[in-house]
Amino acid sequence: MLSKETGGPDTLTIGDLPDPVAGRGQVVIAVRACAVNYPDLLIIEDKYQFRPERPFAPGGEVAGVIDSIGDGVTGWAVGDRVVAVTGHGGMVEKLAVPAAALHRLPPNRSFEDGAALLLTYATSIHALLDRGRLGEGQTLLVLGAAGGVGLASIELGKAFGARVVAAVSSEEKAAAAKDAGADETVVYPHAPLDKDASRALAEAFKAAVGPKGADVVFDPVGGDYAEPALRSVGWEGRYLVVGFPAGIPKLPLNLTLLKSCDVCGVFWGAFAMRDPAANAAHVATLFRLWDEGRIAPRVTGTFPLERGGEAIAALAARKVIGKLVVVI
């Protein structure tokens, strides 16, 4: 599935690239599944932090089996089941990746679930623990809580002993958030929000998180929802900036002074590159929690490779609950 020109999902086409060859320190994965994430839309529109040379395939996290191994690689064998975060290039039949990016996929887990695990859950655990310093007994407000990263944050918040309030855009999504373990839900209106609607949403958030305010706000949405969420933060709370599908907001910084709160950026990809040991420890925690049944990727739709553009379009429409996966 190739991006040959700048544009939306409708510009993607099926095509051929040369078979990849495993260079030194690399393996070639025969891809079985590739999860769909919001950066897949941004990267084909040239709106992401990185702009790969075209033609390239979207798809930032994959699961499959090792097809071949390059020089200098130890600890892996042809046929091993693996998952990897690739950034892009995942919607293909074969993909060369650094061996250092690999994680073993347990034999009792499907390729679809494996592909849907790392990017959302690794982002969430880094956000909540490293940036948000979430602790037991604290209150966590999650925006966009029925998406992949939102559901991951609900589950992890509960695993770490927090009270979780899930904010969503429909009753159907509220039910999904409750099913993931949310203690309470808030259904917010569709943007744009005028001053009265913004004020009303802030009051709804405050009522849901309680009189002490939210200790941590996890915001992968942005836009008009950001300021009401910030207004619900408690004293010395942490507001986590994760993404902007609703637009890049402008926050009134006087609120940060009045609440003595922090606004914290979350860039998991850069964190994983700068501190691979810390990231590996988080991934080990995720696999343990998955094995214990305390987290579980929610794959709510699968698409064949030739319909990968449709999967990205569905995510762009913000109608998806959980994760979509392209199956190769």
DSSP string of 12-62, one letter each residue: -B----PPP---TTEEEEEEEEEE--HHHHHHHTT-SS--PPSSB---SEE
- Give Cα 164 to chain centroid, integer Å: 18
The two three-digit tokens of residue 60, written as one number: 């930032």
* Residue finishing a domain among 218, 245, 267: 267
Do both 34 and 107 map to the same domain?
A: yes
* Residue finishing a domain among 247, 267, 287: 267
Establish if 54 belongs to a structural domain. yes
Return the CATH number at 307: 3.90.180.10
Do both 208 and 259 map to the same domain?
A: yes
Do both 103 and 230 map to the same domain?
A: no
Do both 38 and 89 map to the same domain?
A: yes
CB atoms within 10 A of CB 189: 14
Q: Residues 67-116: pLDDT tens digits?
A: 999 999 999 999 999 999 998 999 999 999 999 999 999 999 999 999 99
Establish if 199 belongs to a structural domain. yes
The two three-digit tokens of residue 151, written as one number: 């559901």
The domain of 69 spans 9-117+297-327
Establish if 20 belongs to a structural domain. yes
Q: Would you state the pLDDT for residue 250? A: 94
Do both 199 and 309 map to the same domain?
A: no
Do both 86 and 66 map to the same domain?
A: yes
Do both 112 and 125 map to the same domain?
A: no
| pTM (2 d.p.) | 0.92
Total domain count, the chain: 2
- What span, in angstroms and rounded, lies between the C-alpha atoms of 216 and 271? 20
Do both 109 and 128 map to the same domain?
A: no
Residues whose CB is less than 8 angstroms from the CB of residue 108 and which lie 6 or more positions away in sequence, other chains included: none
Indicate if the alpha-carbon torsion angle 59, 278, 290, 77 is positive or negative.
positive
Q: Would you state the pLDDT for residue 50? A: 83
- What span, in angstroms and rounded, lies between the C-alpha atoms of 327 and 62? 10
Residues whose CB is less than 8 angstroms from the CB of residue 284 and which lie 6 or more positions away in sequence, other chains included: none
The two three-digit tokens of residue 119, written as one number: 């990017």
Return the CATH number at 138: 3.40.50.720
User: Kind and range of the H or E element at 324?
Assistant: strand 323-327
Contact between residue 213 and residue 140 where contact means Cβ atoms under 8 Å apart: no
What is the DSSP secondary-structure string of 151-165? Answer: HHHHHHHHHTT-EEE
| pLDDT < 50 stretches in the chain | none
* Residue finishing a domain among 249, 267, 285: 267
Q: Would you state the pLDDT for residue 48? A: 86
What is the DSSP secondary-structure string of 87-116? Answer: SS--SSSEEEEEGGGEEEPPTTS-HHHHHT
